[in-house]
Each structure stands twice: as C-alpha cells, then as structure tokens.
Structure 1
C-alpha cells in the first residue's frame, strides 16, 4: 500500500478553545494526556482521512486520535510529527486498516510511509530528519533523503533528447507530403489527383497510428518518461529502415512496404509527443514546467517545418525520393541512439506534487468522464490540433493550384511553424511564471478561429499581392496555435491532478491526431476536379476548416463561468505552494 499524499488527505482543524497543562486530558479522552509539556500549549486536533481514489485500499486512515495515536514530547525521532526545534507536542502517526489492530508505524523499516504522511500533513517538508526517498523518485532503494526538494542539472540531457526525438518523428511524418507530386509519380507512375490522395494516406496512417496505440502509451508513460522515449526510439529505428527498404530502388518504390514503415514511425510518435508533461512533472518545478513542456512539445511541429523546408530541396525529380529517404533514415538513427542513455528519474523529488502517487488510466477514466472542464478543453484542443495537422499535410496542395511553387509552399509551412515556435518560446516562460493559463486560452482560441476564417481568401491573393497575404495569415495562425498547445497540456494536468500527465496528455493529443486524419480525408473529398477554377483547388477544404474552428471557439470561453470557478483551480500548483508555506487562501485558483 502506498502512503497517503497531499491530495489524498483531507484536513480538518478543530481548535480546542482552552489551554492544556501537564497531565490534562486531550480531546476529552482521559487516556490522552500531555506528560512532557511544562508550559501551556494551545492544542489543535488534526484529523487526516485518506482518500481511497488514488489507488490505495479505501478505508485506511491516518490517525492522531483514538487508541492508536498518543501525544509525546520526544521530538527527535523520525516517526514523530514536528521538527527538532519545535516546542509543540508531537504525535505519532499510525496507519490502521479497518478491522485490524496492526499498525504500519510499528514497522520500523517503513520510513517511506511515515515520511510521506508527514509531508501530506505539512510537516517535514524542509525538516532536518533524514528518511528514505519516496518510491518513484528514482533513488536507489534505501537511499537517504533529507526531505529537501531540489532540481538536477542532468534534467537538461533528457529534455534535449526528448526535444530531438520530437523533431525527428515529425520530420518522418512529413517525409512525402511536401513533394506529393514527385512521390505520386515515383510510386505510381503518374501525378493525377487520385494518386496524390493516396500519398496523403501516408500522413493519415501516421496520425491514426497514434490513436491505435494510445492505451499502450498511457501504460508505458505511467512507468516513466524514459521507457516511453526508448520505445519510440526503437520503433523509429525500425520504421525508417523499413521505409528505405521500400525506396531503395531509385526508379520505382514499393508503396506497401513504405506504408508499413510509415505506420511504425507513426506508432513511435505518441511515445514522445505525449511525454513532455510527464517529463516536466518529474524533473521540473512549477516555474519551469510550462517552458519545458513548450520546448519539447513544439519541437514536434519544428520537425514538420524542417521537413517542409528541406525535403523539397532534396527532391527535384521522382528519382530523388530514394536518396531523400536514406538521408532521413541516417539522421533518425543518429538522433535516436542517445535515448538509451538518458537518466530515468531524479534521485529525489523536485517538488511536493512530484511525490503524489499518480492515477493510472483505469482509475482516471471515471473521474475524467465526469469532469466537464476536461471535456470542454479536450474538444476544442482536439479540433485545433486536428486542423493544424491537416493544414500542414495539405498546404502544398492548397497553395500550388494558385501558382505557388513547391519551394514557396514549403517556406509557407516553415513560416507557419517557425513564427509559432519563436512566439511560444517568448510567451511560455511568462505564462508559466504568471500561471496565466486561462487568460492565454481565452485570447488564443478566438484568434485561431479568425485565422482559419481569413485564410480562406489568402491563396487567391497570390497573383495580385504575392506572398505577403498568405504568409502573414500563416504567421498569425502559427503564433496563436503554438502558444495554445503547451498551455492547454499543462492546464489539463493542473485541473486533473493527481491523475497522471500521461493520461491527460495522451488522450488530448490522440483526439487531435484522430481528427487530423479525418480532416485530411475530408479535405481530399472536397478537392476540386480538373474543371475547377483553378483546377484541383481546395477552397472548400479551407471553408470546412474555418467553420469547424469557429464553432469550437465558444466552449473554452465558458470555462470558470456559471458558478464553476472552483473547478478551474490549479491543483498541482496549490500542492507545491503548500510545501513552501503558502496558505491555500493565498493561492490564486487560475488566471481569469
């Protein structure tokens, strides 16, 4: 049984409006007396009732009253509440299972449980008493822990590797989309619309792979970020070289083999794309989590930008496809190898919330199902991630009918992503420091909807206005979309704590990948024929994206309204703030 934790303990403080001297009864119990106190002391009864929702057996209680707890004046023992210099009475904490007389505090080797109870009750966070590091902290069994929280420089190694993995997996996603015409001719011998739609299935299958493997991703991420990163690296290594096996002949490619390799790389993506919140939760404090999540999450679209910019430079003819896939495979291999050597977890917890046992998918499902705020955020976030993935995949096909070259369309995709990355890099640390999650959502969501609406007319301005109009619209879309993504992922973790970040992030991102694949298919069906003006234009697809985006502007704007302000409290932040002595009434529930 895991020891209770800060969110798993409900505190009730019942002030006793009288002074107690030596020998007087406590709590009206004649058998509870203060024997070692020479001065009058105000007594506060604190009752902690363990919540069974966090995966521990329901009914366990932390007692400081009743027959199994007694006040004592001995203050220098690790199994007592209170510090060495504390003059108030200390209480021995025991864990009692209903119907039994066996107590965990009598087991002297169970220092971890006592330590975590003390932390939960607000004692010992910065104390001088050494105990063993909590399970899940990454420390070797039995390692002494001073109880002080600290961050480790080694966290940057894992963070950079997770960033690199997200870059390369996204580049794998858009290996063929930026050169869809050349790819269609390489695999099928012609560049008609149907063959280009088949090439789109390489992107679509990649996105759908995320959804298929979501339960496995949640399970592996629940074990920790390193197992997830290593799994992704293994799948990427195999998937890339399978793709090269299907394109090793420079004259014609084997599409089924390439599709199989693409699916393997698609299965690799969620293991690193959903990992940033889990990694930042373990390795970073409140002030750095949004920035860390932003860096690793936004590396994914940065990889897409590299693909859109570099792939057209490598592929000038269908016969260049084979060489391009080889280059990408080599880069992927080099990028994946460090994954096997990153540290698994910090030796000791970096914050109080890091100690809290996280709920797995089975325990989280009924809680999330009843959480209205989660569904509001999930629905809009999934739509906007889906729209972004779809537009990124079909951007060349959207712009080329109006006269854009593959290189200009690729630059447009790069502008979309690079401007978004720069904007998010500037704003994310500020948002994390100010905890302005809700304010950011309320600003970014309407702006995203308007950008999709305006972009309907932007490709048409190319002949008269050149690149300015489309590029400006893409800049605004990238800035607003990229600012939103890490904020939403962290906000979901805050609202649902102590549910594991692996659960909320993976579910939210899988929704975006699923809708992205669906939107690509829908866009293909809305593509104009050879008699269109211009032929094969995708104006109807742009209208479809704009309508969907505008509809889902409304739900996030209702967060915290209609008497539900209590539902948007930042639970994880509050937990960490309690560990440094801030009162709950000093903690803002959320930026509004």
Structure 2
C-alpha cells in the first residue's frame, strides 16, 4: 500500500521543525474512520458466513442443493482472486475515503439483493439473487481486508512501530521491548473475526425454522446499512491535514504499483524462493481455514450434532484464535522469533486438524470437538499475523501491499481448489444414520474429505518447516537507519524553523 510519505511529500524534510511546532497530531475524527471500517469489516464477515451455520435449512427453504449452498460461501474466495489486486490499487489511487465508501456501498447492496427472494413473491430462481448478492459482498471484501492496514499504517493512527497483530509497521528494531500498540488499533483488527463469531452464533439462534430465514437476512442488512450511511455522511478526507507522527512522515513504504514494478528486478517475488514457499504454504492454510469455516455445520450434522453446537464450535474457533494471535504477537515482538513461531504454530495446527478429522466422524463427542476447535483457532489464527509479517520481511523492498496482498489472493485461489475438492469427494450415506441435516437429501460421508484436509495441512506444514528460511530484510534496514532517524528528530534550532515550511496534505 502507499506509504503516507507519498501523501505528505516533503514531510520528512520538516520532521525536526514539526517536533518543535507541534505539527504532529492525531485528530478526533480518526474515531469516525475507525468506527466505519470496523463496522464494515464486521458486517462483511457476518454476510460471508451467515448461510453456513444453517446450510441445511437454507437449502430446504429455497429448494437448493448442498453444492449450491456451498457456493454462497465459496463465491467470496472466487471473486476475491481477480478483485484482490484491483482493490489494493484502488486504495492507493483513490484514497481511503472513497475506497471505504465504495466498499460500504457494495456491501450494503449485496445484503439487500440477497434478501429479495424473501421479499418478492414468486421469485423464479432465488439462487441467482442469493449468489448475486454474495458476489457484491465479495467485491466489498477485498476493499475491507486491506483498509485496516491502510488506516493503521501511520495514516490516521499515531502509534510507533508495534506488533503486526495490531496493524503496526513491524516489530521493534532495537532488540529491546516492543512498544505497546495504541488502543485505537485494536477494534479494527478484531472486527472481522468478531463478525465470523457472531454469524456462527446468531444464525442458528435466529433460524429455528424455515420461516425465520427472512428475519435472519433482514437482521444482517442493518449493520451493512449503518456502515454505508456513516461512510457516505461522515468521511470527509482520506488523510489528515498533517501527519500523526514522525514515523508517518518518514515512511518509506512503496505504493502497490511501485512494488509490482520490482517484479522484473533481482528481488522479484517470482524469483524469491522464501516468499514463494511462504505464499504457497500459508496460502494453503488460508484455504483450509476458509473451507473449515464454511463446511463445519455440514460436517458435524451428519453425526448428530445440532446447528447450534456447530455454531458454538465456530465461536470457540474464533475466540481462541484471537487470544492466540494477541499472545503470539506480543511474544514475537519481544523475541523476533518470527520464523520459529510460524513453524511451531503450523505444526500444532496440523496435529489439531488430524484430531478433528478423526473425532468429527464419531458421535457424542461434544466436549472433545469443542476443545479441538478451540485449539485449531488458538494455533492457526495466531500464526496469521506472523506469516503476513514474514511475507513483508522476506520480500523487502517490495511494498507491503504487493507482498501481503499477493499472499492473500493466492490463499483465496487455493481455498477455491481445496473447497471444491473436499465437496467433490463426499458421498451419500446408503444406510440410516443419526444425521440432523435438514436439506431434504441423504446425509453425506465426510471421512475422506476431512482426512484429506488434515493431510494437506500436514503437507504444507512440513514444506514450510523444511524449506522456509529467510533473513529479516526490512528489520535490518530499519535497524541500520535508526541512528539517522533519531538524529533527524533532534529539536530544531530557530534557524532551522525559519527555513522549513509548514506542509498540509490534501484530502
């Protein structure tokens, strides 16, 4: 993503003068940006997963197959592959304000379109409208995913270099204790997992019978509509009039297009072995976790577990994932053991997936399944911010937008392949079962798909452990440059103040 230095082109030259003049400041209206992006991220996540916890009831109500219901979640991954790269460019080109407003409009429009089959009597093909609405929300997702990083990357939030969990620009470079993140960073990065958690819990609560489906669809419109209203009425500019910190003024972050131009350079991503291994392995992990979230209810209902219990397992998955991400983020900030933490976390995640593949095929194992889903989230989610940080470290000086964005896009592509493969390997049960699935069809056998999912997770973990090695290039550059930065931030003399103009960014 574009560095703030591009928005304040001469800010680095004015650093010392600003320190004396008080030119660095954070603005109260940053809370508006924080609220809008957090609400938008939350709403988009609920819309993605709202159908999955009650897939059987949705299929029966709209006379759809299980495969069609799966596409309502899978379309998010498919759409984000071509639109992910475009979204990063849009954020760089039109700015945070207009990109956020566009994302809010697409998100709200999608939530309304997918509700039309319940509002319009005699709809001929409800699946087209449901899929069309989800596709609009999927277009918004790519803008939503990258907006928090743009917001936190010194543009509005005045923190120094902090943990990647909270959206900072990397770990501290002096080997000492890392700084604590500004509290304003926390909500925007918890909004997306919170939305997934709410969808897992709320959808089964709202949809007790098929007649409750319109209530569920209408409920999820409300936060989407509120986010669009706030984005349209309350966002006035993409960047504040002055940088919030010296770090913002001196950021060397490249824009997405500038980063992509390095593809033909010696440090090209296509020739960067460490980056390719990380992108393929962690991208596969993203695909596995996306498939797990979308298919959890279908896997569990076959062996007699209710939709409410599946939603509870999904909630544990997210809750413990956030806790794990916070804990591991603070740990790697202090120790700089990014690679070690990533490898150990993926290995533990693989063990948890193997346990889930076995226990999910047994009946009456509610406590064990809840514990396994909690461990899956704790180990799996915790490595996500570390992996994105490693993607930036091993690909430097390619811009953060290009490095992290391409990993995300590759992960979505792998998610499509994995989910299609898993669902294609299911077969219908021939004998009576204890299934609680209510899609009007025979229960599915998920033994082979679940074992395959666990096997893929083990494969990706082994490849990463054996083949991934990288120096921390960006941290080294920042460490080498830190003395000059400290020198630049010395109090300015009166003579200096006479020659440094006061600069303001344009919206």
Q: What's the TM-score bracket when you normalise by the shorter of the two chains?
A: 0.7 to 0.9
The answer to whether the aligner puts 1:550 opposite 2:448 as a matched pair is no
1:146-545 aligned at under 5 Å gives the runs 154-188=29-63, 195-223=65-93, 224-249=95-120, 254-282=126-154, 283=157, 284-287=159-162, 289-292=164-167, 296-340=188-232, 341-342=234-235, 344-346=238-240, 347-348=242-243, 350-352=245-247, 355-356=251-252, 358-361=254-257, 362-366=260-264, 367-463=268-364, 466-531=365-430, 535-545=443-453
Cα displacement (A) at 1:257: 1.3
- Looking at structure 2, the residues matched to 373 and 581 of structure 1 have their Cα atoms a distance apart, in angstroms, of 34
The answer to whether the Cα contact below 8 Å between 1:251 and 1:319 also exists between their aligned partners in 2 is no
The structure carrying a bigger helix percent of its residues is: 2
The answer to whether the Cα contact below 8 Å between 2:284 and 2:411 also exists between their aligned partners in 1 is yes
Q: Deviation digits for residues 88-110 of structure 1, max 9, x if unmatched?
A: xxxxxxxxxxxxxxxxxxxxxxx
SS of 1:565's equivalent in the other structure is coil
Which one has more relative contact order, counting CA pairs under 8 Å at least 6 apart? 2
- Looking at structure 1, the residues matched to 144 and 380 of structure 2 have their Cα atoms a distance apart, in angstroms, of 20
Cα displacement (A) at 1:297: 4.3
Q: Deviation digits for residues 298-354 of structure 1, max 9, x if unmatched?
A: 532321221111011111222221221111112211133333434522421634475
What value does the CA root-mean-square deviation take over the aligned residues?
3.2
Cα displacement (A) at 1:411: 0.7
| Cα pair distance change 1:554/1:225, threshold 3 Å | farther
- Looking at structure 2, the residues matched to 251 and 539 of structure 1 have their Cα atoms a distance apart, in angstroms, of 39
- TM-score of the aligned structures, taking structure 2 as reference length: 0.78
The answer to whether the Cα contact below 8 Å between 1:221 and 1:271 also exists between their aligned partners in 2 is yes
The answer to whether the Cα contact below 8 Å between 2:52 and 2:294 also exists between their aligned partners in 1 is yes
- Looking at structure 1, the residues matched to 425 and 122 of structure 2 have their Cα atoms a distance apart, in angstroms, of 32
| Cα pair distance change 1:493/1:542, threshold 3 Å | same
- Looking at structure 2, the residues matched to 205 and 502 of structure 1 have their Cα atoms a distance apart, in angstroms, of 23
| Cα pair distance change 1:150/1:482, threshold 3 Å | farther
Stretches of structure 1 that go unaligned for 5 or more consecutive residues are 6-53, 55-110, 131-143, 583-592
Stretches of structure 2 that go unaligned for 5 or more consecutive residues are 169-185, 434-442, 489-507
- Looking at structure 2, the residues matched to 178 and 405 of structure 1 have their Cα atoms a distance apart, in angstroms, of 10
- 2:485 aligns with 579
Q: Deviation digits for residues 268-293 of structure 1, max 9, x if unmatched?
A: 10101123333322334212553246
Q: How many residues align?
A: 444
The answer to whether the Cα contact below 8 Å between 2:42 and 2:191 also exists between their aligned partners in 1 is yes
Cα displacement (A) at 1:577: 6.7
The structure carrying a bigger strand percent of its residues is: 1
- 1:79 aligns with none
- TM-score of the aligned structures, taking structure 1 as reference length: 0.68
